[in-house]
Structure 1
C-alpha cells in the first residue's frame, strides 16, 4: 500500500483506523497487480457535507462542511490530517516562525503555484483572507465580512506583501502570541483574490486593506460573503478557479459535484482523474446500487440499511462533538430554561444507544459521553477539567420547567439525529418541556440566530457534516462573542479572555487552570449541551487503494488525489 500522500505518516490513532479499514483494501490492491483488473477512471465520494459555498471561511460555508469537500481544490499551507492534526502542505509553499520582538511568520508560496485559470498564486490571497477574517473592518458597528471565525486572524497586526509577490511576512500584534498559528491560511481558507478584484472592480486590494477604504472593502466583502455561493446547475467557471490537484468540472443534482484533474496543478498528478462528490441528501442507497460510490464518509446511523457488501466499512468515533447548540434569546434568554433542558437530556442513554461505536475505546475519544464543551476527550486535561459536567451526568427527575417548547433544528434526512430528538422529547416531557423536531432538508444553523429554532443539533460549531480537529480552535470560536459560527449568540467577556490566554500560553499549568475555569463557566451558562463524539461510518469499496479514514473537519477526502480504484 502506498503512503497516503507526499510521504505523510499517520499518527497512532490513524494507524489504528488504517488497520481496521484497509486490510481488505491492501489485499484487493495486491490482487489487482496479479489480475487483469483495470483502473476505474472515476470514483464516487459520498459525504454528509452540504455543498452550498466554495468559501469555507463564511458562516454558511463552514457549517455546511466546505473544507471537507474542497480541501484538494483550494489548498493552503496546512491541511487537516486524519488524526485532526495540522500537516504542512509543501506543494503550496512554506511557513516558518522567525525570531522577533513580535511573533512573525514568513510565508513563501511555491514559485510554480498558479490557479487553474492561469493566474499565479500570490500573497494578495493571504491579505484578502486576513482582511475577511480579522474582524477589524466594520460598518455601523457590524462586521463587513461574514466570517465564521476570527481566531488568530484578529491577532495579526499587518501582512507585509507586495502585490503579486510570492512572499508574505505576517506580524502579530505587540505582546500577542497565537500558538496554533498553523491553523491559519490552511486548506479551504485561501480564496483567490484576483477573482474578487475582477468581480468588484477594486483594482488595488492591498491598498484598500492598508488604508481601510470602506467603499472598496464593502464591495470586496459583499463578494466574499456571497460571490462563491453554489447551487446545482450552471456555474460561472471563472469564479471558481482551483489551486489544487482538482478543479470543479460541473455541479448538478443528478450528476453530483464533479471534480476533475487540474491540468495546471504543479504537484503530483492525481491518481484518479475524476472524483464525483455526492453530498447530504443524495439517495445514497441508490448510488451504491448503481456502483457509483467508492468511498463513504457520513454520520453513523444517519442513513439506515445501506447495502455495504462490497465495502470495507467501520464505525469510528469522530473528532466532531455532537451537541445541542442553544439560543441565548427567545425561550432561552435566561439561563434557568437552559439548565432545565440540560437536566432532562438523557446524555448517557443517548451515548449508549446512538453515540457508542461497536469497538468502543477504553479511553479517549468516543469512550464515554462527552463532558466538555471545548476540551478534547483525549486531552491530558480532560478528566481534571470536566468535573462540572457531573451535575448533568444523569437525568434529574425532579426538574420542572413549567410550560416550555423547544424547537430543535438539524439538516434532514438524518435518522440518527431524528432519533436523538425523539429521545430528548420523551425524557423531557415529564419536566414540562415540549420538544419539537424542527429538522428540514434545507436547514442552516444560522436559523438559530434568526429565531426560527431554539436549538441546533449538530457537530462542532454546529457543523452539519464532518467536523473537529486536534486543536480546540473551532470549538472555542463557536462560543466567542461576535463570531459567525457562534449561532447561539452567546457572549461572555470572561470566556473571551480565557480563549485569548489559551491561544497565547501553552504551558501545562496555565492550560489546566484556564480550561477548568472555562468548562465551569460553560456548564453554568450552558450555551450548548455536549452529547458525544460524533460516530462516523467510513467505508472503502473493494479495490480502493490509499484510502485513509479522516473523521475530522477535513473528511476522508483529505487525500482524495491519492485514491485509486481497480475492478
Structure 2
C-alpha cells in the first residue's frame, strides 16, 4: 500500500555515510574473521516467495540472494544497483525496464539473467496452477515479462488498465530466485519458452520444485541447490553450528568486510549463544529472553514496522464473526501495550506510541488517526461485551488455543494476560506454543490463533509499504493463514495499489479499517518491540526493525578485538 509516511531518509543516509567512514578507518590487524548473529526467526526455506520463506528469507538471506531493491532500516525500498537497475518507462501500459548488472553471476558460475525474472513472476503471478506463493501482490497485475533467454535485459509490462504504484517491492532481495537451479531440477531446458508456450507438464514440475525444492533442514545440504547472487553464500546449516554464510568468491561488488557470518536462528538456544559470547549482533523481540545479560552490548529497544497481532482461524471455534468479536472484546489491548508493547523511550505520537489500531496502516501514516476510529470498542477489554457476543454466537463458553514459536517470554506473558482477562467472559485461553511451531499450524487447525507479526511471522517483520500485512488478509494468499475471505477488502487493496489521490486513499483505507474491525480476522496489539544489540567493537551495525532485520547490511560489519 503506497501511502505517505513520515520517512527518515536523511537520517538513514547520514547513518550509512557514518558507517562507511567507520569501515574505511578500521585496521585489519585485530579484526575478528567471523561474526555471530542471533535472530529470533526460524529458517525453513531459502525461497522468500513461499509462505515458509516469507517469514525469514529477507532477515537472513538479504545479502545472499540480492534483488533490484531491498528493505532499508526504516522500512523503505532501497535500490540495489549491484544487482542491476529498474526504471519505469513511458508507455500505454505501465512498463518497467530491468537491466541486470553485466558482471552479475551466481556463486556456481551461472550468469544472472532475465530468466530469473520470468521464473519469479511465473511462480508468483497466480496465473499458473500449482505454485504455492506467499503473495501475488503486484505480480498478478503483470501481463508479461519480455525476455530473450540468457539476456541481461527484461521488460515487465502490466495488464491494460492496471497500475501498481509500489512496483519497487517486486523482484526484491530474498525473493528473486535462481531460475537455472529450478530448470535443472525440473528437467526443463528453457524456462522462458515453457512459460511462453504454456507448457503445462514443464510448469507443473517447476511448481513442485518452487514449493519445496529450496526447503532448509539443519544437517547436510546439497549446496549446489543454493547458489548465491550476493556478497555471501551458504556454506552449511546445523542446529549447533548455525547457518554459516561465507564470502561469495564470485561476487562482483564490494567484497564483504568480514568473510564469515554465522546466523543463529530459532530453534538454536539463542540465550546460550549470547551468554557464551558466540554472537556480536542480536535482533530479538523485546522481553523474549529476559534472562539474557546484554551489559556488554550497545542496546536499543525500538518499535518495529511489524504489527504484533493475534491472527484468528476463520474456521473452527472462530467460524462466526460473533465468536471472533467475543474474543477480541476480552483482549486487554491497552494493558498489553502498557506492560509488554511499550519500548523504554516510547514516543508520544506515531510508531510505538500506543496500541496499534490497524493491521495494515503504520501508526506514523498521515491517515492512521482518521481511519482507525472503529477500533474504539476494543481498547481496554470488555468481558461483559464479550459474554454478550459469545451468546450471540450461540456459545456458553469457548476454548482458544494460541500458538507461537517458543521460547518467548513476552509472548508467553501476552497469552497469560489474555487468559486472565478472558476468563470472566467464559473464554478459556490455552498456550499452544512449541519450539517447532510454524504459522501453518493455524491453517491445519492445530491452533485457533497465532501470536506474531503479519502472516504469523515470529521474528523481524514489517515495512513501510505494508505488502505482507495486506497479503495476510487477501483471499487465497499464502500469507493468509487464517483463511479470511472478503471480496470487498480484496477490491479495496487492488484500488489502493493504483491510487495516488490522497482523498480517495483516505476514503478507501477508512472503509478497509471499518470492514476489518467488523469482520475481525485478526486482533492487532502493538508495534512489535525489538531489542537490537551490537557488542563493543562491532562497527557499522545499524538497527533494522523491519522484515529485513538488523542483518540488512551485514556485509559491512567489522568486529575489532
The TM tier, using the shorter chain, reads over 0.9
Residue 34 (structure 2) aligns with: 42
Instruction: Look up the match of 1:532.
Output: 526
Structure 1 gap ranges (5+): 1-8, 139-143
* Residue matched to 1:469: 463
Task: Give the structure 2 partner of residue 76 of structure 1.
Answer: 67
Separation in 1 of the partners of 2:25 and 2:103? Answer: 38
Residue 369 of structure 2 is matched in structure 1 by 383
**2:528 is the alignment partner of 1:542:** no
- Which residue matches 1:435? 429
Secondary structure of the structure 2 residue equivalent to 1:301: coil
Is residue 331 of structure 2 the alignment partner of residue 340 of structure 1? no
1:404 counterpart residue number: 398
Where 1:531 maps in the other structure, the secondary structure is strand
Aligned-partner SS, 2:525: strand
1:196 aligned residue? 182
Given the superposition, is the C-alpha separation of residues 37 and 439 from structure 1 closer, same or farther in structure 2, using an over 3 Å criterion? same
Residue-by-residue CA offset, 1:218-267 (whole Å, 9 max, x unaligned): 10000000000111111001100000000001111111000000000000
Going from structure 1 to structure 2, the CA distance change for 1:14 and 1:315 (only over 3 Å counts) comes to farther
The CA distance in 2 between the partners of 1:302 and 1:280, in whole Å, is: 12
Instruction: Please give the residue correspondences for 1:311-330 in structure 2 after superposition, counting only pairs within 5 Å.
Output: 311-330=297-316
Conservation of the 8 A alpha-carbon contact between 1:13 and 1:83:
no
Question: RMSD across aligned C-alpha pairs, in angstroms?
Answer: 2.0
Q: Gapped runs of 5+ residues in structure 2?
A: 1-6, 391-395
1:127 aligns with 2:121: no
Aligned-residue offset at 1:365: 0.7
Moved more, 278-287 or 323-332: 278-287
Aligned ranges 1:73-222 → 2 under 5 Å: 73-138=64-129, 144-222=130-208
- Alpha-carbon distance between aligned partners in 2 of 1:37 and 1:303, rounded to the nearest angstrom: 35
Q: Is the 8 A contact 1:300 1:416 kept in 2?
A: yes
Give me the whole-angstrom Cα distance separating, in 2, the residues matched to 1:77 and 1:127. 14
Counterpart CA distance in 2 for 1:302 and 1:96 is 42
Structure 1 CA distance, aligned partners of 2:111 and 2:437? Answer: 37
Query: SS where residue 557 of structure 1 aligns?
Result: coil
Deviations 1:487-513 (CA, angstroms, capped at 9, x unpaired): 000000100000000000021111100
CA change 1:211–1:343 in 2 (3 A) is: same
Aligned to 1:227: 213
- Cα deviation, residue 290, structure 1: 2.7
Q: Distance in 2 between matches of 1:499 and 1:350?
A: 29
Determine which of 43, 46, 50 is the counterpart of 1:58: 50
Query: Quick check: 1:32–1:543 contact (8 Å CA) kept in 2?
Result: no
User: Which deviates further from its counterpart, 448-457 or 525-534?
Assistant: 448-457
Distance in 1 between residues matched to 2:469 and 2:283, nearest whole Å = 21
Tell me if the contact between 1:408 and 1:421 (Cα under 8 Å) persists in the aligned partners.
yes
Provide the secondary structure at the position in 2 that maps to 1:498. Answer: helix
Normalised TM-score (structure 2) = 0.95
Please tell me whether the aligned partners of residues 68 and 466 of structure 1 are also in contact (alpha carbons under 8 angstroms): yes
Q: TM-score, normalised by structure 1?
A: 0.94
| Deviation digits for residues 81-119 of structure 1 (CA, Å, limit 9, x no counterpart) | 000000000000000000000000000000000000000
Shift of 1:30: 11
Q: 2:438 aligns with which of 435, 444, 452?
A: 444
CA-CA distance at 1:473 after TM superposition? 1.2
1:445-469 Cα shifts (integer Å, max 9, x gaps): 1111111111110102211111000
Aligned counterparts of 2:350 and 2:318: Cα–Cα separation in 1: 32
